[in-house]
Amino acid sequence: MPDFPKKTLVADAYSRLKSDIRENRLPPGFQAPEPELATRLGISRTPVREALIRLQADGLIRLIPRHGALVVALSPSDVQSLYDILSALEPQAGVTLAEAAPTPTALAPLYETLDAMTRALEAKDLSAWLAADDSFHQQVIALQGNDRLHSMLGPLLDQLHRVLMTTLAHREQLARATEDHRTLLHILATGDSNGARRELRQHRRRESREVLEIIEAQGLTAL
């Protein structure tokens, strides 16, 4: 299959660039032309260009003619809007998953991720905690089985991850957030769809209040 190597290169470029943006290795406001990014990745410009088109569709970058890619910065109002959308859509992922009456085997990845969150919290390893937190939410939307909802929520979680990276050191409610995940997992295991909707909505609203207060207190204008 002649397209396979190209598709693989595009997928690899997309994955690596998205990871660099999510983890703030390419911070908000970073701008680079395609040749520079191709050199950074050690591949040709064509797969990089296609990867950048996908990242623009995800809302992570903006392509500027003759100037390459600009990593999009989020304002505090953008963060508020992001939480508003997640608070509306993510609970539906919980509903769909709970209604499917998932077995303990199906939920095993979530139990493992919750254990990782707990260990990271006990070790005061903030980076590991956030990685597990992100993985938990990504797994919920992957397990719920609605591909369209998954494709809508995935890019929003990618944008939020960068915000959470920036504010993580100032958060004081990580233990509460961990217990939110434990409660949600119990609700999912019992098939309580209304409870799943309620818990996910409350979790995101509590998180948004904490994060937005940090953004205001720190005077952050671009995340």
SS3 of residue 208 by DSSP: helix
User: Exposure pattern of 70-93 as b/e (b: 16+ CB <10 Å)?
Assistant: bbbebebebbeebbeebbebbbbb
pLDDT confidence of residue 2: 45
pLDDT digits (tens, 9 = 90+) for 22-79: 999 999 999 999 999 999 999 999 999 999 999 999 999 999 998 999 999 999 999 9
**Matching residue, tokens 């309620």:** 198
pLDDT confidence of residue 9: 92
**DSSP 8-state symbol, 75:** P
Name the pLDDT band for 162 (thresholds 50, 70, 90): very high
Nearest Cα to 3, choosing from 39, 56, 46?
A: 46
How far apart are the C-alpha atoms of 175 and 123, rounded to whole Å? 12
pLDDT digits (tens, 9 = 90+) for 101-156: 999 999 999 999 999 999 999 999 999 999 999 999 999 999 999 999 999 999 99
Helices (H), 100-123: 104-122
Nearest Cα to 206, choosing from 86, 97, 102?
A: 86
Is the pTM higher than 0.85? The answer reads yes
SS3 of residue 173 by DSSP: coil
Write the CB contacts of 162 (distance below 8 Å, at least 6 apart in sequence).
21, 22, 23, 24, 28, 74, 223
pLDDT confidence of residue 7: 79
Longest CA span, the chain: 55
Question: Which bin fits 101, alpha (ψ -120 to 50), beta or left (φ > 0)?
Answer: left
Q: Which amino acid, residue 134?
A: D
Q: Is the pLDDT of residue 6 over 90?
A: no
Nearest Cα to 60, choosing from 96, 91, 20?
A: 20
CB distance 166 to 223 below 8 Å: yes
